Amino acid sequence: MNILAKKKTSPVKRTAKDKLMYVKKNWQLYLFFLMPALLLTIIFKYLPMGGVLIAFEDYNVIDGILGSEWVGLEYFKRFLSSPDFMEYLMNTLKLSAFGLLWGFPIPIILALLLNRIRREGIRKKIQLLIYAPNFISVIVLCGMVRMFLSPVGPINSLLGIDTNWMTMPSAFRTIYIASGIWQTAGWSSIMYTAALANASKDLEEAAIVDGANIFQQIRYVELPAIKNIIVIQFILQAGNIMSIGFEKAFALQTDMNLPASEILSTYVYRMGLLNGDYGYSTAVGLFNAIINVILLIAVNWVVKKLNDGVYKEEERNGNKKKNETRNI
Amino acid sequence: METRRKMKLGTSDKVILGIGYTVLGIFVLSILIPLVYILMASFMDPNVLNSRGISLNFKDWTLDAYRRVLENDMIWRGFFNSFFYSAAFTVISVFITLLAAYPMSKKEFVGRKFFNTIFLITMFFGGGMIPTFILINQLHMVNTIWAILLPGAFNVWNMILARTYYQSIPKELREASSIDGANEIQHFFKVMLPVCKPIIAVLALWSFVGMWNSYFDAMIYLNDAELQPLQLVLRSILVQNTPQPGMIADIQSTAEMAKVAELLKYATIVVSSLPLLIMYPFFQKYFDKGIMVGSVKG
């Protein structure tokens, strides 16, 4: 699951000559198989990384990236001292932190509930339905939200009021997070449902025979079966807290709710592509990316520690069950 | 499982289960009701919808909105463009990803660690929106389909999934084919691809749905109206509130126009979302499988 924390097994030591022979003999692997991906990666991923230089210069198209005048950290000073920037940074953090807080437990609860439905047919139908919103596009979802919440929309007429929710900064986060849960909670529960289905049924039946009530069954049988997935999912999502997507926030923005809905990625778009302030917006984007990398490294370090802990615990208990769930 | 059904539940358990199922029921309804509402609203007469909301009286129903939406060229062109982009992207992306995953799955591949690092770095750090935009501009790819097809065509995460899948295939297959004189390319196409159908299906579905539902790249790179995918057409109707001119050209009064425009949104949502919603149950098992592949360590 976790890519960075993976322990690398070193192959048998080979001499440089052996390696050269291998490359010569297997040239197809390099030229035919790897080359297209490598070229795309270099052109579309690494060249833009070089392009972050414009965060430090007064970029203009004629002089290009290498010829434009160097301004050092001026843009960074500018946005770090700007109250707007701090507001957008906080918007970004709040939106994803609250999104995680509310959105994270719901798929787990859904999976636990679905697992209790013993009538296969009913369960399958419910699953089919709650997965469906995942296939609705961001644009359509945001269109639906806008229609339902419009002053003449069904929610207002149901409540007998005519509030224009989309123009209220205070309502934005709730709208964003609730619609996110509506769209993805069902789909996110698949992973937990699969792990629960693979959990030992014997253990569960033994627990029931022993007279365990529902909370005890959840505590001792079901949660241990999905514990690893919960931990890893939480950590991965926590690590992505700064890379919250552009598309949905942008589609839910109105001029009025900007105080809450402007996040760093939409700010970069506005400043860079709409206002043409390339250097400044690249600097903001770079800042965002660096915080993101730091978060990911930190999170990865935690995963490593936790993983080692899990392995030790397993060794102590001689417990093979966790391995079984991992090898679904 | 049989024992479970026979077991008598305690009173407190019954209460807990009751609460649990109620919560589940509310969640299910919260998903069902908006979808059904949109479907029904799309058939309403605009005046009825505006004054009384949903009506179950068939006299108030009309196919007018669908006629207007389906007679609109922009919607059709959007559909066509989106289908073309998604299909092309799926073919290119899955092919390149499968190819790259093959050498990366070999333990003895010289340079494996090095290439792996090069690929992984791009998962965690990137140049960002503006440098990418400048690059695409300088490559003269703006207003060409390459701007939305190529930059994301190689997907590192998918490569890891494919690599994991390859590693689950017995190595003896390669030994056997090399005895028969097959080189790596022949082995890949004749032996590997046929046994990798499940993972290919998963990657293809993800790529297709991802491309179909995205709009950002098209928004910044495809300014030409002829090239716009469905999501951008939908964006102008649903988010920017500007119905396609042809849709309501025949209506005289402004008040009437607003009502019809509102109705058109419902029909547009149904028309644009139905294909995927109808198709997805048929591919459900592949998506499930994909989640499984993803949850095995990468």
pLDDT per residue over A282-291, tens digit each? 999 999 999 9
Measured distance CA(B261)–CA(B268) in Å, rounded: 10
Task: Give the best-scoring range by mean pLDDT among A149-153, A162-166, A173-177.
Answer: A173-177
Whole-angstrom Cα Rg for chain B: 25
Query: How high is the pLDDT of residue A252?
Result: 95
**Across the interface, do A130 and B28 touch by the CB < 8 Å criterion?**
yes
pLDDT of residue A328: 34
Whether residues B128 and A286 touch (CB distance < 8 A) is answered with yes
**Position B6 in a domain:** no
Determine which of A10-24, A71-85, A116-130, B97-111 has the lowest per-residue pLDDT on average.
A10-24
Within-domain flag for B49: no
- Mean pLDDT score of chain A, rounded to an integer? 86
The pLDDT, as a whole number, for residue A327 is 39
Q: Which of A1, A2, A3 is most worth mutating to test chain B (most B CB atoms within 10 A of its CB)?
A: A3
pLDDT of the residue at B7: 54
Range of the domain at B125: 63-298
**What Cα–Cα distance (Å) separates residue A268 from each residue in A239, A250, A275?**
21, 12, 10
In one-letter notation, the amino acid at residue A230 is I
Measure A73 CA to nearest chain B CA, in Å.
Answer: 17
**Could you give the CA distance from residue B204 to residue B94 in angstroms, rounded to a whole number?**
6
Compare A113 and B8 and report the one with higher pLDDT: A113
Interface test with A, best of B295, B296, B297 (most A CBs within 10 A): B295
| A127, B8, B191, B196, B287 from B281: Cα distances, Å | 10, 36, 30, 22, 10
Q: How many CB atoms lie within 10 A of CB A36?
A: 18
Nearest-CA distance A289 → chain B (Å):
6
A27-69: pLDDT as tens digits: 999 999 999 999 999 999 999 999 999 999 988 888 888 888 8
- How many Å apart are CA B293 and CA A198, to the nearest integer? 14
Residues 6+ apart with CB under 8 A from A94: A173
DSSP3 helix / strand / coil % (chain A, rounded to 5): 75, 0, 20
Q: Does residue A324 register a pLDDT over 60? A: no
Is residue B149, in this structure, part of any structural domain at all?
Answer: yes
Residue A212 per-residue DSSP state: -
Interface test with B, best of A47, A140, A263 (most B CBs within 10 A): A140
Task: Provide, as residue numbers in chain B, all residues whose Cβ is less than 8 Å from the Cβ of A14.
Answer: 110
Segment 192-251 of chain B within 8 Å of chain A by CB:
209, 212-216, 220, 231, 234-235, 237-239
B128 three-state secondary structure:
coil
Q: What is the β-pairing status of strands A69-70 and A57-58?
A: antiparallel
A103 neighbors A184 (Cβ within 8 angstroms): yes
pLDDT for residue B273: 93
Is the confidence at residue A6, as pLDDT, over 80? no
- The verdict on a CB contact (< 8 Å) between B28 and A272 is no
CB contacts, 8 Å: A292 with chain B: 124-125
Among all chains, which residue has been given the structure tokens 């990468």?
B298
- Contact: B53, A157; criterion CB under 8 Å: yes
Domain count of chain B? 1
Q: How far is B287 from chain A (nearest CA, A)?
A: 10
**Within a domain: B245:** yes
DSSP per-residue codes, A270-318: IIIIIT--HHHHHHHHHHHHHHHHHHHHHHHHHHHHHHHHHHHHHHHHT
Below-70 pLDDT ranges, chain B: 1-9, 289-298
| B46 close to B243: Cβ distance less than 8 angstroms | no
Count CB neighbours of B229 within 10 A.
29
SS3 A116: helix
Half-sphere exposure of residue B278: CA atoms within 13 angstroms, side-chain side: 6
Statement: residue A323 has pLDDT above 60 = no
Decide if the complex's ipTM is over 0.95: no
User: Residue B193, Cα to own-chain centre: how many angstroms?
Assistant: 24
Q: What is the CATH number of the domain that holds B256?
A: 1.10.3720.10
Domains of chain A: 74-326 (1.10.3720.10)
B153: in domain: yes
Residue A166 pLDDT > 60: yes
More confidently predicted of B173 and A327: B173
Looking at chain B, list the stretches that DSSP marks H as alpha helix, in order from N- to C-terminal side: 2-6, 11-41, 46-52, 64-70, 73-104, 112-124, 129-138, 146-149, 156-167, 172-179, 184-187, 193-195, 197-213, 216-221, 230-234, 254-295
Residue A322's pLDDT band, with cuts at 50, 70 and 90, is very low
Q: Which of A144, A145, A147, A152 is nearest to A172 (CA)?
A: A145
Rounded to a whole number of angstroms, the distance from the CA of A216 to the nearest CA of chain B is 11
- Say which of A6, A213, A289 has its CB closest to residue B128: A289
Structure tokens at B119: 């690929």
| Window B:115-134, CB contacts with A under 8 Å | 115, 118-120, 122-134
Q: Which of B30, B115, B214 sits opposite A34 (nearest CB)?
A: B115
Is B239 in Cβ contact with A146 (below 8 Å)? yes
Nearest-by-Cβ selection for B110 from A19, A54, A278: A19
Indicate whether B25 belongs to any domain. no
Has residue B126 been placed in a domain? yes
Question: Inter-chain contact B103–A33, Cβ cutoff 8 Å?
Answer: yes
Spatial separation of the C-alpha atoms in residues B295 and B289, rounded to whole Å = 10
- Is residue A299 within 8 A of residue A235, CB to CB? The reply is yes
Distance CA B200, CA B188 (A): 13
What is the C-alpha separation between B215 and B231, in angstroms, rounded? Answer: 6
Q: Is B6 on the interface with A (CB under 8 A)?
A: no
Q: Across the interface, do A140 and B150 touch by the CB < 8 Å criterion?
A: no
Nearest-angstrom CA–CA distance, A274 and A279: 13
Q: Check if B38 contacts A (Cβ < 8 Å).
A: yes
Give the closest of A143, A250, A278 to B130, CB-based: A278
Return residues 8-37 of B near A (CB < 8 Å).
Answer: 10, 12-13, 16-17, 20-21, 23-24, 27-28, 30-32, 34-35, 37
B292 lies in some domain: yes
Instruction: Search chain A and give the residue with CA nearest B20.
Output: A113
Cβ A249 vs Cβ A263: under 8 Å: yes
> Tokens 């950290």 label which residue?
A73
Residues of B in contact with A228 (CB under 8 A): none
Judged by a CB distance cut-off of 8 A, whether residue B296 touches chain A is yes
Q: Which pLDDT score, from 0 to 100, does residue A12 have?
A: 60
Does residue B257 sit at the A interface (CB-CB below 8 Å)?
Answer: no
* Tokens encoding B270: 């149904």
- Within the 60-89 window of chain B, which residues sit less than 8 Å (CB to CB) from chain A? none
